[in-house]
């Protein structure tokens, strides 16, 4: 039991580090033609954490990811990230039972959580800036659909393999 | 135990949900997108005209140059201009809030706004 706890703590750290590295990799990619749009590769680490450690483990990975945003990109970005991530993690945890029952794959989970992330960020931006950001919403949601498919495909490929080692 | 399929029909539910949500937001946006007034800014003063009333008026700008502004069916266009380049005439009709037609030689700018307080300066600030 004690061993199990230690392993979980180590895995949370590992996946949080993975989230940070994936954010860094994403920043190094050529910028997308649209402003304020990111692929959200770090969400791969959060969802993988929720599946491979425990739902609570996924929440811890997400919290650490937001703390890293706070340190590296400042309060505004962290506030937006926190609102988006909170909704995205909630959506992920709500849909994971469907994956366990083979009703859905991680593509569905990622699309839903990416959309939730976008909506959370728009809500945050509404409070912080202006409601005018919603004019950008349809485009952002369509991009969430795309990025959710990409990250979901990554998870579909990686999680069965990672299950063997975690 | 989950098998290794890369895709399931259940994945379509969030995808369709996202599309529907984007569609709803888009239609909500477009229905509010049309402006209600055209703001006419010239060196000689500013006016705003409702887009709901069809009208055709001659606006006199600087250097004696004038443009003819037509409001028809909720859209505004410049039908005739004294200037040589005719850029404002070729801009065509606009009806969305925030869009503008400018005739620089005459110093006349037409901007579609959603209400009378919604002048470009108030937005840009």
Nearest to B10 among A108, A144, A153 (CB): A108
The most confident of A35-44, A54-63, A137-146, B37-46, by mean pLDDT: A54-63
User: Which pLDDT does position A10 carry in this prediction?
Assistant: 94
3-state secondary structure of A130: coil
Q: Which residues of B touch A149 (CB under 8 A)?
A: 15
Q: Is the pLDDT of residue A28 over 90?
A: no
Provide the pLDDT for residue B62.
85
Q: How confident is the model at residue A1 (pLDDT cuts 50, 70, 90)?
A: low
Closest residue in A to B14 (Cα) is: A112
Cα A123 to Cα A113: distance, rounded to the nearest angstrom: 15
Contact yes or no for B11 and A100 at CB 8 A: no
Render pLDDT for B20-48 as a digit per residue (tens, 0 to 9). 999 998 887 776 556 688 889 888 888 88
Q: What is the pLDDT of residue A150?
A: 93
Q: What is the pLDDT of residue A56?
A: 94
Q: What is the average pLDDT score of chain B?
A: 81
- In this model, does residue A149 exceed pLDDT 90? yes
Share of chain A above pLDDT 90, in %: 61
Token pair belonging to A77: 């970005």
Any CB–CB contact under 8 A between B20 and chain A? no
pLDDT at B34: 60
For residue B54, is pLDDT > 90? no
Residues of B in contact with A160 (CB under 8 A): 2, 4
A165 has pLDDT over 70: yes
Q: Which of A57-71, A116-130, B106-120 has the highest mean pLDDT?
A: A57-71
Q: Which of A105, A68, A108, A103 is nearest to A85 (CA)?
A: A68
Work out whether the CA dihedral B92, B97, B99, B103 comes out positive or negative: positive
Is residue B108 within 8 Å of B61, Cβ to Cβ?
yes
- Judge contact between B51 and B75, C-beta under 8 A: yes
Give the pLDDT of residue A34.
63
- Per the prediction, chain A carries an average pLDDT of 89
A116 vs B6: CA distance, rounded Å: 22
| B15 at interface of A, judged by CB pairs closer than 8 A | yes
Q: Give the per-residue pLDDT at B6.
A: 80
Q: Is the ipTM, as predicted for this complex, more than 0.90?
A: no
At residue A89, the pLDDT reads 96
Note whether B22 contacts A137, CB cutoff 8 Å.
yes
Rounded (10°) angle between helices A106-128 and B12-33:
30
Instruction: List pLDDT tens digits, range B2-19.
Output: 456 788 888 999 999 999
- Which residue from B4, B7, B25 is facing A137, i.e. has the nearest CB? B25
Smallest Cα distance from A128 to chain B, Å:
17
Per-residue pLDDT tens digits for A62-80: 999 999 999 988 888 899 8
What is the tens place of the pLDDT at every residue in A120-139? 998 988 887 666 677 788 88
pTM equals 0.67
Instruction: Say if the Cβ atoms of B10 and A98 lie within 8 Å.
Output: yes
What residues of chain A lie within 8 A of the CB of B23, using their CB? 138
Are B23 and A160 within 8 A, CB to CB?
Answer: no
CA distance A159 to chain B (A): 9
Tell how far CA A85 is from the center of its chain.
Answer: 6
Name the one residue in this structure whose structure tokens are 């959710």. Answer: A148
* Predicted confidence band of residue B123 (pLDDT cuts 50, 70, 90): very low
Report the residue from A98, A111, A135 with minimal CB separation from B29.
A135
In terms of CA atoms, which chain A residue is nearest residue B29?
A135
Give the residue among A77, A72, A116 at the shortest CA–CA distance from A94.
A116
For chain B, give the secondary structure using H, E and C: CCCCCCCCHHHHHHHHHHHHHHHHHHHHHHHHHECCEEEEEECCEEEEEECCCCEEEEEECHHHCEEEEEEECCEEEEEEECCCCCHHHHHCCECECCCEEEECCCCEEEEEECCCCCCHHHHHC
């Amino acid at each position: 039991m004690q061993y199990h706890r230690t392993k979980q703590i180590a895995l949370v750290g590992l996946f949080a580090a993975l989230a940070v590295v994936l954010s860094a990799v994403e920043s190094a990619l050529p910028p997308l033609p649209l402003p304020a749009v990111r692929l959200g590769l770090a969400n791969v680490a959060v969802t993988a954490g929720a599946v491979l450690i425990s739902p609570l483990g996924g929440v811890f990975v997400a919290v650490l990811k937001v703390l890293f945003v706070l340190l590296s990109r400042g309060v505004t970005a962290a506030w937006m990230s926190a609102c988006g991530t909170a909704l995205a993690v909630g959506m992920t945890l709500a849909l994971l039972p469907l994956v366990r029952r083979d009703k859905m794959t991680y593509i569905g989970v990622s699309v839903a959580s990416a959309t939730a992330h976008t909506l959370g960020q728009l809500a945050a931006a509404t409070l912080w800036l202006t409601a005018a950001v919603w004019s950008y919403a349809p485009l952002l949601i369509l991009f969430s659909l795309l990025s959710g498919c990409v990250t979901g495909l990554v998870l579909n490929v990686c999680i069965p393999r990672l299950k063997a080692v975690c | 135990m989950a098998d290794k399929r890369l895709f399931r029909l259940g994945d379509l539910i969030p995808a369709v949900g996202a599309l529907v949500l984007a569609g709803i937001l888009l239609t909500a946006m477009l229905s509010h997108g049309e402006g209600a007034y055209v703001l006419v800014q010239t060196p000689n003063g500013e006016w705003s005209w409702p887009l709901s009333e069809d009208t055709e008026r001659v606006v006199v700008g600087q250097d004696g140059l004038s443009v003819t502004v037509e409001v028809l069916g909720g859209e505004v266009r410049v039908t005739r201009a004294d200037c040589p380049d005719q850029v404002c005439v070729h801009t065509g009709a606009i009806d969305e809030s925030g869009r503008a037609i400018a005739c620089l030689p005459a110093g006349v700018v037409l901007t579609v706004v959603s209400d009378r307080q919604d002048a470009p300066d108030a937005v840009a600030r």
